[in-house]
Chains A and B, each alone.
Chain A
Amino acid sequence: MSDERASQEQAPQKLALHDRHVDAGARFTPFSGWEMPLQYTGIIDEHEAVRTSAGVFDVSHLGRVIVDGPNAGHCLRSVTTYNVLEMRPGRAHYSLYCNDTGGIVDDIFVYRLAEERWLVVQNAANHAQGLALLGKSCEAATEDITESTVMLAVQGPEARAALTRVLGRNFQELAARRCAQFSWRNTSLLVARTGYTGEDGAECTVERSLAGELWDDLLAAGVKPAGLGARDTLRLEAALPLHGNDIDLSTNPFEAGLGWVVSMNDDTPFIGRNSLKSLGTEAPSRQLSHMRLLDRGVPRHGYPVLDANSPEAGPLATLTSGTFSPTLRTGIGMAYLPVALAESGARLIVEIHGRAIPAKVVPRPFYRRDA
């Protein structure tokens, strides 16, 4: 999970809530130019808290941009693959920025706050790029609110109960993938029922000066601090891709299983449309696949993957992501496999420190909360 693109010149930026994290016992790691909590009580402990009760992640490192004005929607539509104009106010949707050849520049979440007001959330590593893209393409006002706000993701089966204690009974009315303002103390929060863990919950964006109180309120409501380590094991169990690992400029949405956020039915130009149109009609030669180990070991990004039926052919792929799954208690990973091998049940070998560990392709996700 290290980020080689972190600035060489400057020390990583501290989060607004840095001192709260220190008080909660955080161990920090630099990530995309930010000093981020990696863990507090332990990755597995925090992972299990999110799966069984509720955890809170400070995800303020994510780029947050407001796009506002009569052309905001059309501008956004022209730079992202999903037809965001189909979103009614109060909705949230996943999308991608692609380049001219259909490579994935970033994955983002788009929130339509009002008819002409949008929030775009981008990966920290790609924030400058995304901001430039929006600024260049949009006559609408774009405002980078990353530094003036804090974003806390509350996730887990008890998350909504905790958020109801903090925000009041109105919070119960927020449906999945909806966003709304909720009054809290003397201000209001933007709350979206979205997340990156495979659990229910919500992501709250609050002005920086009041973020400490929100953090305190959430902890008082029984929510447990959780860091980047658990965030990665959780999202991988939920089979959610990580840009820079599972998707990047060298991958297109169709081979990554993300064709569902490429909207072609509106005939509106958007960056990459022509290439994506061709790619969408061809059968991909490889597919982002999900696998679990059948023996002990910890699969990690970069480890070679072979066909168990013809290991002499050598590695066919390398893992884009891999970890020990605390919930399944086995190794899990993702890799782009040739389509013939990308079928559930296909037998693979993952090479771990020179040892051949058997694995098999499984359907996504690895973990489903209602299973």
Chain B
Amino acid sequence: MEFPENLLYNTEDEWVRVDGDEAIIGISDFAQDQLGDIVYLELPELGTTVKSGEPFGVVESVKAVSDLYCPIDGIVVARNDGLVEEPQLVNSSPYEEGWMITVRMSEPNKLDDLLTADDYRNRLPQ
């Protein structure tokens, strides 16, 4: 199972890739594996305000429904609409083609609250 070193993670299994003042967000390899085959996502509209620690959407697999928790504060500036037709991209490519939203961060300092790949990996059940 992979946890890229260049990403940050929250305790709810979302990852963040920082790109200037923007953050691209998705779910980790562990999360997609736990969920199983993903068949549907609810993601926020562009312009939506999101807050760290609060749900920003829903991911559904055949057998489970799970809230998506935002790792940072800001405004949604991009959304991966390709996941409407191909939700399984989250399973096959959770860090690349399975990206979910891009957020323009309002409080980049809060990135310090997030976990490194090693810290995230060490928290996972063995």
Known: A296-B84, A353-B42, A353-B58. A42 touches B63 (CB 8 A): no
Contact of A229 among B42, B60, B62 (CB under 8 A): B62
Residues on A with C-beta less than 8 A from B36 are: 39, 42-43, 229
Residues on B with C-beta less than 8 A from A45 are: 37
Q: Report A312-371 residues with CB < 8 Å from chain B CB.
A: 323-324, 326, 353
**B46 interfacial by beta-carbon distance below 8 Å:** no
**A242 interfacial by beta-carbon distance below 8 Å:** no
Q: What is the CA–CA distance of A38 and B61 in the complex, to the nearest angstrom? A: 13
B19 to chain A, nearest CB (A): 29
B29 to chain A, nearest CB (A): 15
Residues on A with C-beta less than 8 A from B88 are: 44
Q: Is the CB of A324 within 8 A of B40?
A: yes
| Binary CB contact string for chain A from 290 to 306 against chain B (1 if under 8 A, 0 otherwise) | 00000011101000000
Residues on A with C-beta less than 8 A from B58 are: 353
Q: Is the CB of A298 within 8 A of B42?
A: no
The interface centre, meaning the residue of B39, B40, B84 with most chain A CB atoms within 10 A of its CB, is: B39
Q: What is the CA–CA distance of A215 and B60 in the complex, to the nearest angstrom? A: 33
Q: Is the CB of B65 within 8 A of A298?
A: yes
Q: What is the CA–CA distance of A1 and B58 in the complex, to the nearest angstrom? A: 20
The interface centre, meaning the residue of A298, A300, A323 with most chain B CB atoms within 10 A of its CB, is: A298
Contact of B39 among A39, A298, A353 (CB under 8 A): A298
B65 to chain A, nearest CB (A): 7
Q: What is the CA–CA distance of A330 and B117 in the complex, to the nearest angstrom? A: 36
**A123 interfacial by beta-carbon distance below 8 Å:** no
| Binary CB contact string for chain B from 39 to 52 against chain A (1 if under 8 A, 0 otherwise) | 11010000000000
A358 to chain B, nearest CB (A): 16
Q: What is the CA–CA distance of A1 and B63 in the complex, to the nearest angstrom? A: 8
Residues on A with C-beta less than 8 A from B39 are: 44, 298, 324
Q: Is the CB of B60 within 8 A of A298?
A: yes
Q: What is the CA–CA distance of A353 and B40 in the complex, to the nearest angstrom? A: 13
B58 (CB) vs chain A CBs: closest residue: A353
B99 to chain A, nearest CB (A): 20
Q: Is the CB of A324 within 8 A of B62?
A: yes
Q: Is the CB of A38 within 8 A of B63?
A: yes
A43 (CB) vs chain B CBs: closest residue: B62
B93 to chain A, nearest CB (A): 15
Q: Is the CB of B60 within 8 A of A42?
A: no
| Binary CB contact string for chain A from 183 to 217 against chain B (1 if under 8 A, 0 otherwise) | 00000000000000000000000000000000000
B126 to chain A, nearest CB (A): 16
**A146 interfacial by beta-carbon distance below 8 Å:** no
Q: Is the CB of A323 within 8 A of B62?
A: yes
B67 (CB) vs chain A CBs: closest residue: A353
A297 (CB) vs chain B CBs: closest residue: B40
Residues on B with C-beta less than 8 A from A1 are: 63
Residues on A with C-beta less than 8 A from B91 are: 42
Residues on A with C-beta less than 8 A from B63 are: 1, 38, 43, 229
**A95 interfacial by beta-carbon distance below 8 Å:** no
A39 (CB) vs chain B CBs: closest residue: B36
A201 to chain B, nearest CB (A): 22
A112 to chain B, nearest CB (A): 37
Q: Is the CB of A44 within 8 A of B62?
A: yes
Contact of B37 among A42, A296, A297, A353 (CB under 8 A): A42
Q: Is the CB of B60 within 8 A of A44?
A: no
Q: What is the CA–CA distance of A324 and B58 in the complex, to the nearest angstrom? A: 15
Q: Show 21 A/B contacts (Cβ-Cβ < 8 Å), sorted by A.
A: A38-B63, A39-B36, A42-B37, A43-B36, A43-B37, A43-B61, A44-B37, A44-B39, A44-B88, A229-B36, A229-B63, A233-B62, A296-B40, A298-B39, A298-B40, A298-B60, A298-B62, A298-B65, A323-B62, A324-B40, A353-B42
